[in-house]
């Protein structure tokens, strides 16, 4: 157990429905601190690169289109075991499988439009954070 950072995206389905604050409330109630945050419109190239690990999957093209369909909020979250803590509060990828009390159970629309992204490892968290933030934009 140690203080860690993870990378989060509040996805276009959530910004469209004006539930950025509802997501942030659940993040903070889980004990995570939002130490950097900005609202951006992702470019197609950024979304393709971000999800390149999924480029062979049948949903890749639609996923990229979805991620650029409106603004997103990119964030750095800090806390004890931040990667695992945030994955826990996000809930399962498919909201139909997500546990009560999770962001995806409460807010997600579908397996694709599932409201939030969270890094799946410390290594990926560092890579993803560096894609969207400089160190001086992160204030813990
Ligand atoms: P997670 O976001 O829980 O880490 P994945 O990394 O497996 O999930 O998938 C990345 C994103 O791709 C998901 O959050 C979701 O938006 C989308 N996705 C995953 N599986 C599907 C699917 N079967 N159909 C459509 N979109 C999907
Ligand atoms: Mg993932």
41-76: per-residue pLDDT in tens? Answer: 999 999 999 999 999 999 999 999 999 999 999 999
80-114: per-residue pLDDT in tens? Answer: 999 999 999 999 999 999 999 999 999 999 999 99
Strand partners, 4: 79
Structure tokens at 18: 């004006």
**What would you report as the CA-atom Rg of the chain, rounded to the nearest whole angstrom?**
14
CB count within 10 Å of CB 8 equals 29
pTM attached to this predicted model: 0.98
What atom in ligand 1 is closest to the CA of residue 92?
A: 3
Provide the annotated active-site residues.
Answer: 117
- Measured from the alpha carbon of residue 63, the closest ligand is 1
**Ligand 1 pocket, CB under 6 A:** 54, 59, 63, 93, 111-112, 114, 117, 120
């Amino acid at each position: 157990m140690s203080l860690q950072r993870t990378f989060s995206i509040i996805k276009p389905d959530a910004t469209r429905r004006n539930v950025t604050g509802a997501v942030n409330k659940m993040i903070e109630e889980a004990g995570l601190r939002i130490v950097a945050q900005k609202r951006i419109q992702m470019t197609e190239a950024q979304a393709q690169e971000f999800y390149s690990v999924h480029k062979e999957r049948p949903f890749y093209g639609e996923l990229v289109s979805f991620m650029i369909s409106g603004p997103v909020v990119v964030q750095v979250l800090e806390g004890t075991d931040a990667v695992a803590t945030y994955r826990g509060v996000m809930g399962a990828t498919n909201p139909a499988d997500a546990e009560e009390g999770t962001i995806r159970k409460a807010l997600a629309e579908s397996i694709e439009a599932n409201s939030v992204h969270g890094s799946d490892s410390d290594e990926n968290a560092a890579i993803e954070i560096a894609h969207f933030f400089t160190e001086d934009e992160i204030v813990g």
